[in-house]
Amino acid sequence: MKPGIHPAYGPVVFRDKAADFAFLTRSTATSEKTVEWEDGNTYPVIDVEISSQSHPFYTGTARVLDTAGRVERFQRRYGSTA
């Protein structure tokens, strides 16, 4: 890699306040806010609105739409143009 053009890559805590969930990972994202992690070190923290702990797809609360009924309803309304 070319030196001097890439952002700093380091440990960052992402925190989902809705689900009271946080995880430590590495990222180029930065923040002025910090938090003390379980290992006793202080890391920058980024608050997110949705994570895997609060997203409907991952929590099993996602709704499944009946797309087959919509196709038949469209065919009844507009018919086929053949």
Domain ranges of the chain: 10-79
Give the Cβ contact number of residue 12 at 10 Å: 18
| 26 vs 81, more confident | 26
Distance CA 12, CA 42 (A): 9
The model's pTM is: 0.64
pLDDT in tens, 12-60: 999 988 888 899 999 999 899 999 999 999 999 999 888 777 766 666 6
Residue 2 has pLDDT above 80, yes or no: yes
Q: Report in angstroms the alpha-carbon separations of 72 from 64, 75, 76, 77, 80.
A: 17, 5, 6, 9, 11
Record the tokens describing residue 28, joined without a space.
């180029």
